[in-house]
A and B are shown apart, each in its own frame.
Chain A
């Protein structure tokens, strides 16, 4: 019992160290520690978890496998959550149609693979482009005319758009679920654990997309314009930023990521149907809130947290709790830190 407590304490310390901003800046100012901080933290956390598993007498192979599965599921949530958070950051809208954009991405990928017989990468590109175009069209047609309307009008429009897409989807794709063909069959042995290739592909593609997104947002002109616009719209206009264009770019990028999630989910959970976007959409939104809405790394973190915890709950408790965990976490975070894990309480200087 004492080993359990000890290992839990160790894990808690790691989490605290990761979250404590003050301590981090202090440590980071020391060049010797700067580059070892995160690796050391991860190592420490891994030790703690390992210790805990031993103490509990758990099956480590199984646990590791579940963690990998959790990360691949979390990748999907994270990719969808990014679109929510980016759009929210720019126009303060919770785009309820975003889950359905993900659904359309899944279908676009499906047809690319089955009808057009394309390999994975071109199919991924098609899914991303299709979702991206759809996202931009939705913004132009439904949201842009409401630029100066109250936010509630916009929100209701988004819900309407979501219902419209689901119903058009039923008409176009029929409500019979379609099954993705198996694209990745292999599985690998990692530390004596067998891991499906498809899981690794999901995770790898997601990581690549996120690195790309970080580069886009931090170092390119449209990306910087996006950040500027989310921080101060009038000042952004004074810089000569074309607000409408940046909003379009935001929808394009966010929707493309959802499209990628759509095809990625298809290679692991092959059943797709027109209503498939509802639940993942909601959970991804929860992920965005948990990470701190409007904050890009927050959406990534939130998605992974939800994916992993959902998988562990399914594996160790019961699959009937699967959907409850996301919303449980949401309630917890709203009670403890309403601005989200990476969110800052808003401070303004006069």
Chain B
């Protein structure tokens, strides 16, 4: 579904991605783990056309989407839930979700998906007319995920959805990610919480200073000595 080959990205003089190779197959959950500054967010942002790709190719559903402007990406069926949620703070929950459906024209389908998101996150339904800036961190994360789903993506990119959440809520979020995947959405999951990520993923990649260094089925990665030492706390 998604294929990235030898991806290089620079921020000015900084060589942030030095050859990413990654494949996501249909209906899988693929985890992308790595230390701070390894280039996980940069990878997601280059897929979405937010940062410029210097060389390499990104292919989505057989189409080359390298350096395609960001506003064409969403309607192809690809959406990202960004790091730090980035909800629109002065807009209501409802409006935030509608912004997620910005690229769509089928009003009936949008209304349907709104109900689907509210079914997934009943908390959001109760707060639909509250401005997003007044939500708790966890609720904002739910909103960000819901907003990402509103474009009805075939592939959902999630950037550290567990960041800053209490353990119970982390479990809840991961349960929902599995549920979303069960409903037919393919997922590329970036996580610091490698344990949790690998526990729900089918396949995993480890990123180190801009390169994919280890890859394999999630279960194998969770057993891998190097990975355990570096990311799973021994």
Contact = CB atoms under 8 A, between A and B. Distances in A.
Interface of A: 221, 224-225, 227-228, 231-232, 234-243, 347, 349-350
Contact of A238 (B50, B75, B84, B95): B50
Given A349-B133, A349-B140, A235 B82 contact: yes
Contact of A232 (B69, B70, B86, B95): B86
B209 interface: no
Interface in B152-178: 164
- Across chains A and B, which 10 residue pairs bring their CB atoms closest together, nearest first? A240-B74, A240-B103, A235-B86, A242-B71, A237-B70, A231-B88, A239-B102, A239-B99, A240-B71, A228-B88
A241 B70 CA distance: 8
8 contacts: A225-B99, A228-B102, A235-B86, A236-B99, A238-B86, A240-B103, A241-B71, A350-B84
B133 A224 contact: no
B79 A350 contact: no
B100 interface: yes
A240 B153 CA distance: 12
B87 interface: yes
B42 interface: no
A240 B50 contact: no
A236 B164 CA distance: 23
B73 interface: yes
A235 B90 contact: no
Contact of A224 (B72, B73, B95): B95
A98 B185 CA distance: 47
Contacts of A236: 88, 99
B66 interface: no
Interface in B97-150: 98-100, 102-103, 133, 135, 137, 140, 147
B133 A238 contact: no
B151 interface: yes
A235 B75 contact: no
Contact of B73 (A221, A240, A350): A240
B84 A241 contact: no
A234 B91 contact: no
A225 B79 CA distance: 17
A240 B80 CA distance: 11
Contacts of A227: 88, 90-91
A120 B98 CA distance: 39
B182 interface: no
Contacts of B84: 350
B50 A237 contact: yes
Contacts of B79: 238
B90 A231 contact: yes
Contacts of B164: 350
B152 to A, nearest CB: 12
A247 to B, nearest CB: 13
